[in-house]
Amino acid sequence: MSTHRSVRGFELRDAGYVLAWVLGVALVVPVQTASVVLFDVTELDAAVPDFVFVIVVPAAVLTLGPALAARSAYCGKATGITAGVAFVAFALANDHVAPLWTACGAPTGC
């Protein structure tokens, strides 16, 4: 017997997993902005290539939400698959948003 309440076949744990993905997508620009500001303030941007703090670091941070949701709702294999898919998806999303940084200096600088 499941410990989760079912809503017409869609369990609440599934809703939490979907919500983690939606939240990750909604936070692409704020997390990328925070990463760029952090690297700029600490002056690590001089030592590290731009793609690291514009694409890789934000994608890694955004991957945590869906991966942790998969871990608590499903199994270890689902966590690994989710982490891989989420990292690639968020890296592509960050890559799509990245030209705003190089063209304008900031996401809203145009």
Looking at residue 1, its pLDDT comes to 41
pLDDT greater than 80 at residue 9: no
pLDDT bucket at 7, cuts 50 / 70 / 90: low
Kindly state the tokens that stand for 6: 């079912």
- 1 located within any domain: no
- 18 located within any domain: yes
* Domain limits for position 89: 7-104
Residue 17 burial class via C-beta count within 10 angstroms: exposed 0-12, middle 13-18, buried 19 and up = buried
d(CA 33, CA 101): 9
pLDDT greater than 80 at residue 12: no
Question: What domain count does the chain have?
Answer: 1
- 33 located within any domain: yes
7 forms bridges with which residues in the sheet? 10
What pLDDT, in 10s, does the model give residues 33-91? 888 888 888 888 788 888 888 889 999 999 988 888 888 888 878 888 889 999 999 88
Kindly state the tokens that stand for 91: 């890296």
Q: Which residue has the higher pLDDT, 3 or 44?
A: 44
Beta strands in the chain (DSSP E): 6-7, 10-11
- 68 located within any domain: yes
pLDDT greater than 70 at residue 2: no
What pLDDT, in 10s, does the model give residues 13-32? 778 888 888 888 888 888 88
- 54 located within any domain: yes
- 31 located within any domain: yes
- 83 located within any domain: yes
- 19 located within any domain: yes
Q: How far apart are the first and last CA of the chain?
A: 55
